[in-house]
Amino acid sequence: QKETTVLTIKNTPNAPTINKNIYGHFAEHLGRCIYGGFFVGDTSKIPNTAGVRNDIIDALKKLKIPNLRWPGGCFADTYHWKDGIGPKENRPTIVNQWWGGVTEDNSFGTHDFLNLCELLGTEPYLAGNMGSGTVQELADWVQYVNFGGKSPMSDLRVKNGKKEPWKVKIWGVGNEAWGCGGNMTADYYAGEYRKYATFMSDWSNTGGLMRVASGANSTDYNWTETLMKNIPANMLGGVALHHYSVIDWNKKGDAVDFTEEIYFKTMQQALKMEELVTKHSAIMDKYDPNKKIALVVDEWGGWYEVEKGSNPGFLYQQNTMRDAVLAGATLNIFNNHAERVRMANLAQCVNVLQAVILTDKAKMILTPTYYVMQLYSVHQDAQLLPITIKSPLYTYNGETLPAISASASKDKMGLVHISVVNVDSKKQNTLEIDLNELGIKSISGQIIASSKLQDFNSFDNPTKIQPVAFKGFEIKKGKLTVTVPPFSVLMLEGK
Ligand code: AHR
């Protein structure tokens, strides 16, 4: 007799929409994310468009990435955008002081990034420099990219070959201001934020900028409270939050060679996101009960030791089934908190941390996390269908975690999508879902699974892990029974 867990999905007409921006990405000037990743230069033999790899553009288009954050991260608070415009041969260099101390030639700048976003059909999210920049410098950047009339900055943009402004809506005001962004206190940052945010726009916030405040580090609830208390709501489009699934900053563990104990600890950190978004949202609710301000988790993902032999400052790591489970479970948390979590950015897109794409010279591979993002793209802008479940437990060494993570949505065509992750590394779990209320007659499914948790896609075996058709379910009298294999990510589609 199989143990079966009931998962209830409610057709709730007033449930929120899952903002597509939850599926955002992050591209920092860090290691081989931009240089040697996205950007190979237009003289490269690797097929490219204005220096950006075509294979990366094609792969990201398939993910329908809704927004891309740039140029950092910590790098953003050292970046002076004026050094990255105009003729490339005249641009000054910049030392990437946080990431490997390498000297960059600024050949990838504002035009390169915003043109890339146009190619991808994605919304840019520019992270402004508050830490080492000035109010004027950030105000000038806004004018340079957004102003359609005549002004010193828009004239400069036109001189550099771009007549029409890009109209960038999403702007970060500093990054990790409590750390690499200037080691500020929450009070001090809130004051600075008010000043910077003021000069980014006019009285009526023409252009409707979404200004995002540099947010808390994981459990720093005081940070969120201070920002919400001290920054007028009309100046605040979003409050950020950063949380990495790292087991110990001094001993992060190998990306591929890990034990079940380490896997369990990583998942403890990943599932902590539920508590973090719940508690940060509750603080925001006190000051913003109508939920006008978004919680923006603009850095999340797994963080392990760098690959042996690679530059320690470049944060290059492989990506296994552990990362697929981590991504699926985290995205389910964001979906289920769609009312407040309206944007998120996986760290990072190419060759850094929990990347969706890895490159080695001309070769490119898609990671298990890429495929999770691909399966989950169906949730973008779909209506949330709230779920109730009393999850079975995943037990390791006397400690427990909920084994099943799930979320569901109904898209504009009326298709229902249910994403299910079995976090348990050993036990399959059987779920029963009543389809009657949802009006579903038939189901199809795809699964991401592999024989070992440590499995990954390598440059020699790039397609080891990919979604395949899933048949482990049956429907009887409108009841769906699904058997979810250990450490797998599942997407069911009902119609
Ligand atoms: O994503 C890597 C780094 O992590 C970012 O630069 C920083 O914001 C965070 O600490």
DSSP conformational letter for 51 = T
- Rounded distance between C-alpha atoms, residue 298 and residue 171, angstroms: 12
pLDDT tens by residue, 408-424: 999 999 999 999 999 99
Q: Is residue 484 part of a domain?
A: yes
Domain boundary residue, one of 335, 359, 381: 381
How are beta strands 363-366 and 468-469 bridged, if at all? unpaired
Answer yes or no: 299 catalytic.
yes
Establish whether residue 175 lines the binding site of ligand 1, counting it when its CB lies within 6 angstroms of any ligand atom.
yes
* Residue whose C-alpha is closest to residue 434's, from 475, 386, 471: 475
Which residue shows structure tokens 């003021």? 198
Which residue shows structure tokens 């999850």? 391
Structural contact between residues 65 and 122, judged by C-beta atoms closer than 8 angstroms: yes
Pocket test for ligand 1, best of 220, 299, 317 (most atoms within 8 A of CB): 299
Structural contact between residues 174 and 181, judged by C-beta atoms closer than 8 angstroms: yes
Tokens of 23: 């599926």
- Rounded distance between C-alpha atoms, residue 273 and residue 243, angstroms: 7
Please state the φ and ψ torsions of residue 49, each to the nearest 5 degrees. -120, 115
Domain boundary residue, one of 347, 364, 381: 381
pTM greater than the 0.95 cutoff: yes
- Rounded distance between C-alpha atoms, residue 403 and residue 391, angstroms: 6
Q: Are both 48 and 96 inside the same structural domain? A: yes
pLDDT tens by residue, 243-254: 999 999 999 999
Answer yes or no: 305 catalytic.
no
The complex's ipTM works out to 0.99
CATH code at position 244: 3.20.20.80
pLDDT tens by residue, 48-60: 999 999 999 999 9
Confidence grade of residue 1 (pLDDT, cut at 50, 70, 90): low
Q: Can you tell me which atom of ligand 1 is nearest the CA of 175?
A: 8
Q: Are both 276 and 176 inside the same structural domain? A: yes
**Nearest protein CA to atom 3 of ligand 1, as residue:** 73
Containing domain of residue 149, as a range? 20-381
b vs e for 178-210, b when ≥16 Cβ sit within 10 Å of the residue's Cβ?
Answer: bebbbebebeebbebbbebbeebbeeeeebebb
Tokens of 391: 């999850």
Domain boundary residue, one of 336, 353, 381: 381
Pocket test for ligand 1, best of 32, 99, 130, 176 (most atoms within 8 A of CB): 176
Please state the φ and ψ torsions of residue 467, each to the nearest 5 degrees. -65, 140
For residue 216, list its beta bridge partners.
Answer: 241
CATH code at position 454: 2.60.40.1180
Q: Is residue 15 part of a domain?
A: no
pLDDT tens by residue, 20-31: 999 999 999 999
Percent of the chain surpassing pLDDT 90: 98
- At 118 the pLDDT is 97
DSSP conformational letter for 188 = H
* Residue whose C-alpha is closest to residue 104's, from 59, 50, 170, 37: 37
Say which of 28, 104, 123, 176 is annotated catalytic: 176
Helix axes 110-120, 135-146, angle to 10 degrees: 50
Averaged pLDDT for residues 319-348: 98
Whether residue 354 has pLDDT greater than 90: yes
Say which of 299, 339, 432, 474 is annotated catalytic: 299
3-state secondary structure 312-336: HHHCCCCCEHHHHHHHHHHHHHHHH
Averaged pLDDT for residues 472-485: 96
Q: Residue 135: left if φ>0, alpha if ψ -120 to 50, beta else—which one?
A: alpha
Q: Is residue 394 part of a domain?
A: yes
Whether residue 406 has pLDDT greater than 90: yes
- Rounded distance between C-alpha atoms, residue 346 and residue 241, angstroms: 12
How many domains would you assign to the chain? Answer: 2
**Nearest protein CA to atom 9 of ligand 1, as residue:** 73
Q: Are both 353 and 443 inside the same structural domain? A: no
- At 487 the pLDDT is 98
H-state helical runs in 108-259: 110-120, 135-146, 152-159, 186-199, 221-230
Averaged pLDDT for residues 377-387: 98
For the chain, how far is it from start to end, CA to CA, in angstroms? 30
Structural contact between residues 280 and 295, judged by C-beta atoms closer than 8 angstroms: yes
